[in-house]
A and B are shown apart, each in its own frame.
Chain A
């Protein structure tokens, strides 16, 4: 099985990550977020950006994590292609590696306005695999 995928939502798009832990699933969901915007394979992980979030529960933490990445991409004009996430209680520390947007090399589709609470789920399936997903507004 792929470790991330998109799912359909009317006008917008859903991002879904899988992993052995919530942190791993969050990292894969971030990869799915990049794939909404461009082909993640074209993004060189040259520069690291640190992100920290805190939220009352894991689901809201996912939205905060994705929104923090959206903010960093928007203000730095960067794309990210590699992620590392650590979750302890209600806090998240993450690294995103990427590079500046380059229209010649990155096939761009659409910018993401924000991660939403729609179809928001962070849960473990009976086989022990974690899933982290929500719809993003484009």
Chain B
């Protein structure tokens, strides 16, 4: 991105001043190197988001922002329903509530070293992943509706986890006000045999170790010490969420003109929050969030079963579960006045600071854990939400590394087998049904996640707590 088009507010804050139809500025958080490397499309897309009705304060882009659909990926925007604010299916994305959860194991790195290959095979055998994979759970209409209403709470009720898990999930594991009836039959049909599946692309289940702690006090509150073995699961709402995205992009595009909304890009399709289409989408999207929470809960259960058989001393407890692609009703203070806003986070993580009532009591003093997925060859990070992020980004931070090159470029540069062998030599065991998928997801195809995390830390969006490095990766 050409920095000459931006006003530099401070070392990590860059502004696109309102021009044309922009109602508010767009604010980009990144260091100079990340800004220079950032796609020009982020400029265009952040500026477009700033034109939407009812947007409050600014359209934000996180340090990992890249070209998305209508909204940049790594985009945050809040809308006021009382000011004609909108909800956008593109602003949430196709993979509703795609997110990461991290589990403690109670094990130290030497505890699993000898058994690593066996553990990798067992996880690969038990976690359905890749194109066309199915889970063993079939939901009838009534159970589907219960799952979409109650999310991870439904899963726990069905035996996939414990009540303690729920305290460590956003919204206590259940997104309120979901409307399963607003989810199309096609979306439900797509989910019929996909409960408890990982998916493909950038989704994964990793066994990791805590390689470094940066903030010992917060790490202690999160229960993390160097040398600990943890598990991270990255996936979303599977076919159901994808179909909700498809269905409502179409409906919102068709209704935009009727609602007098000018769309600079069809992908920004949206509807007023206080409209039938807007309300219908919110009900369906919340059901999609519940589907993702239930799905990650079932995957957690499958993982626990593998560990119970192989490492009976392990105790898999949830550190936290975050969602990346959501629109949530939250209270934020704007110019000293608390307002109830619909905050879109597309490829961005909620990052509420210490003391925030939405954070689980056991973690509240430390701030919300912000789980950043990296690549299978580099690292992931645990950050903590800050009080400053409330004023800076409606309590939001980055979500991952972001791709540095396309899938095609990656397959031209790497062979899947070679990637698997190279990582094995470094002690990282990859298990995947797709060698082409592994090549497309090669670590070198991503930006350096450390740079993104450092920028988020320095910009005050979240504090860097710990670095997690992969030992085993089950890749869809």
Residue numbers of A with Cβ under 8 A of B are 6, 8-13, 37-38, 56, 60, 63-64, 67, 70-71, 74-75, 77, 101, 103, 107-111, 113-118, 120, 135, 137-138
Contact = CB atoms under 8 A, between A and B. Distances in A.
A126 B254 CA distance: 31
B350 to A, nearest CB: 21
A11 B403 contact: yes
A113 B406 contact: no
B3 interface: no
B253 A117 contact: yes
Contact of B94 (A6, A9, A63, A137): A137
Contact of A138 (B130, B245, B407): B407
Contacts of A138: 200-201, 407
B243 A71 contact: yes
Given A9-B67, A11-B402, A108-B433, A113 B245 contact: yes
Contacts of A137: 69, 93-95, 242
Nearest to B130: A108
A9 B406 contact: yes
Contacts of A70: 242, 246
A115 to B, nearest CB: 8
B434 A110 contact: yes
Given A107-B436, A113-B242, A138-B201, A10 B39 contact: yes
Contacts, number: 121
Interface string B372-399: 0000000000000000000000000000
A101 B435 CA distance: 16
29 contacts: A10-B403, A11-B68, A11-B202, A11-B402, A12-B407, A60-B250, A70-B246, A71-B186, A71-B243, A74-B190, A75-B186, A101-B132, A103-B130, A103-B132, A108-B132, A109-B131, A109-B437, A109-B440, A110-B131, A110-B434, A111-B131, A111-B201, A113-B95, A114-B245, A116-B69, A117-B249, A117-B265, A118-B70, A138-B200
A98 to B, nearest CB: 12
A29 B48 CA distance: 29
Contact of B200 (A10, A77, A110, A135): A110
In the A-B complex, list the 6 residue pairs whose CB atoms are closest, starting with the nearest.
A101-B132, A8-B406, A117-B266, A113-B242, A109-B436, A108-B131
A118 B409 CA distance: 20
A113 B189 contact: no
B407 A71 contact: no
Given A111-B201, A118-B69, 15 more contacts: A10-B41, A10-B67, A11-B73, A13-B406, A71-B243, A75-B239, A77-B134, A101-B131, A101-B132, A103-B132, A108-B200, A109-B437, A113-B94, A113-B245, A120-B266
Contacts of B93: 137
A116 B199 CA distance: 19
Contacts of A115: 246
Contacts of A11: 66-68, 73, 202, 402-403
A63 B90 CA distance: 15
Contacts of B130: 103, 108, 111
Interface centre among B93, B246, B433, by most chain A C-beta atoms within 10 angstroms, is B246
B448 interface: no
B267 interface: yes
Contacts of B340: none
Contacts of A107: 434-436
A74 B409 CA distance: 26
B134 A108 contact: no
Given A56-B254, A103-B433, A107-B436, A37 B131 contact: yes
A118 B201 contact: no
Contacts of B266: 117, 120
A6 B399 CA distance: 27
A107 B435 CA distance: 8
B356 interface: no
Contacts of B199: 111
Contact of B246 (A12, A38, A67): A67
B204 to A, nearest CB: 13
